[in-house]
Structure 1
Amino acid sequence: MLTTSDLARHIFCLPCAESLGLSRRPQQNRTCPACQANLPNPDDVVSTTLNPTEDYKTSVLSGLDPTTIIECAGRALSFWAYQTTQEICYQEYLSKGLTEKYSTLNTEKEKVINSANTEILGLQGKIADMQLTQDQLQKKIEELSSLYQDKCKKHTQMTNLYNLLKSQAMRSQIQTAASDSVSQTLKSLPHASAARPGGPMMPQTAMAASRHFNALSSTEKPPIRNIIQNRETYIN
């Protein structure tokens, strides 16, 4: 549907023309929906086919004089130029809107990229700090492990020294007890020899105690003073 008055040069599809009232009779005072121009004449609004057939092209201007044909063609070209200009303006408007939208999106993109880069740098710094802390903790663990091994070694030495001192003390106690037993046995010998004919005779218990005493006496043992000195050396 075309509006072809001198003030209104617009084109609408048929459904829109029906809904906007362009197909009504002229007496109902039609107006152009685009520019609000009055369309009182019957030919101010016409219906046309944008893809005409060959027969229509042959007959539409047939019978008209050249002046009228040229005038019709000129007005048609003027309408086409106006529509083309309007289309260019509309596309420029769309292009301007899209350009502004692109500029806004590009600015937001730059902000997001800068924010992401800043966050990445911060995370990289945190990772470097954590790596340094991990290395320090690993070094400390190795030092503590070495100290623990030294402590275990010293504990083993102290345990062995304790067992040695304990053994020496037990030997001393056994030697003292055996010496006392031998002394008591020897003291009781005069009474036993007086009661028996044939001379004094050492009881078997006294003989066993004497042998045990001799065995203990013959055992070589390090002096207590040396053991204590060794213990102090281990501790230091």
Structure 2
Amino acid sequence: MALCDDTLLCNFPKCRIKLCGFAWVTACSHAFCDQHGSGEFSHSPVICPACSSALSGKMDIVRTELSPSEEYKAMVLAGLRPEVVLDISTRALAFWSYQIHQERLYQEYSLSRAEVQIKQLEKMLNQQNQSRELDLGAMRGEITSLRKVMEEYKRKYSEVAERLMERNRQYQKLQGLYDSLRLRNMTVGERDTPARHAHHPVGPAGVFRHASSPRVSPPFLAMGPKGDSSSSSLFTCLEPDIPTTFFNFRSPAKERGRPFPQNQ
């Protein structure tokens, strides 16, 4: 704030608006806007809201116009001795210098608080950036592993696809062979059908008559002692419980030791 700048700020905490019109000034060199000055200085005891100083004197608080008229300027110091005018001007300039100094201190305090907050925010930002970098590195590693898994699956898929294509080719080949064999068998069957009808004549009821097979010779008969067939019987074994094999096949027990009969 420069000396030529005629703008003052309200010294009430959390106000800090530019003073215009009327303002309240105190003997402790503080200035307040008309709203807060009227509210704070309307009850007793009167305490300065900026420095908590007691303002009990009659001239400790003055409500002044910041932009006085020309008539007021011409008459406010008229008739006063030069040293009084200089003393009043010196005190007025001291009030203004104090306001500038206080404003500079306030700005420095605000700047220091802002710097502290900026440092805290930068620290928090660095911590968050580090955590994000760690998370990003973990995600990159996971993406790399997933890419490897995806490449492995792609390789397996290509192998399976090649196997499937090979199986399909084999299946098509076998299907072609099967179709050709079926057609060949159908052709051979159609050629053999007339020959079968010629060898197997059809009977009256439409049934094929099979050719008579040669008569089977009767089984061998065991001849009796006289050589006749009246006492002959089938050549069997008297012990049915014993399995009939080549080694235990024998004649009845009664005829053991008899000579084999001869036909006369």
Cα contact 2:40–2:46 (8 A) shared by 1: no
The code of the aligned residue for 1:44 comes to: D
Deviating 4+ runs (over 6 angstroms): none
Secondary structure of the equivalent of 1:88? helix
State the distance in 2 between where 1:16 and 1:179 align: 132
Task: Report what 2:16 is aligned to.
Answer: none
Provide the TM-score with structure 1 as the length reference: 0.61
After TM superposition, the structure 1 stretch with the greater mean CA deviation from structure 2, 68-77 or 45-54, is: 45-54
Deviations 1:197-219 (A, max 9, x none): xxxxxxxxxxxxxxxxxxxxxxx
The code of the aligned residue for 2:88 comes to: C
Q: Sequence identity of aligned pairs in percent?
A: 26
Cα contact 2:45–2:56 (8 A) shared by 1: yes
Are the structure 2 counterparts of residues 116 and 58 from structure 1 closer, same or farther at C-alpha, using a change threshold of 3 Å?
Answer: same
Secondary structure of the equivalent of 1:115? helix
Are the structure 2 counterparts of residues 33 and 138 from structure 1 closer, same or farther at C-alpha, using a change threshold of 3 Å?
Answer: closer
Alignment of 1:166-185 (within 5 A): 167=184, 171=188, 178=195
Give the total of aligned pairs. 178
State the distance in 2 between where 1:33 and 1:152 align: 96
Residue from 110, 127, 151 that aligns with 2:126: 110
State the distance in 1 between where 2:45 and 2:167 align: 112
State the distance in 1 between where 2:51 and 2:101 align: 16
Structure 2 residue ranges without an equivalent (≥5)? 1-23, 202-210, 212-264
Task: Report what 1:140 is aligned to.
Answer: 156
Residue from 3, 6, 15 that aligns with 2:35: 15
- Which has the larger share of helix? 1
Task: Report what 1:3 is aligned to.
Answer: 26
Task: Report what 1:209 is aligned to.
Answer: none
State the distance in 1 between where 2:105 and 2:197 align: 133
1:70 aligns with 2:63: no
Are the structure 2 counterparts of residues 21 and 160 from structure 1 closer, same or farther at C-alpha, using a change threshold of 3 Å?
Answer: closer
Provide the TM-score with structure 2 as the length reference: 0.55
Structure 1 residue ranges without an equivalent (≥5)? 189-236
- Indicate the structure (1 or 2) with the bigger Cα radius of gyration: 2
State the distance in 2 between where 1:108 and 1:132 align: 36
Of the two structures, which has the highest relative contact order with CA contacts closer than 8 Å and spacing of 6 or more? 1
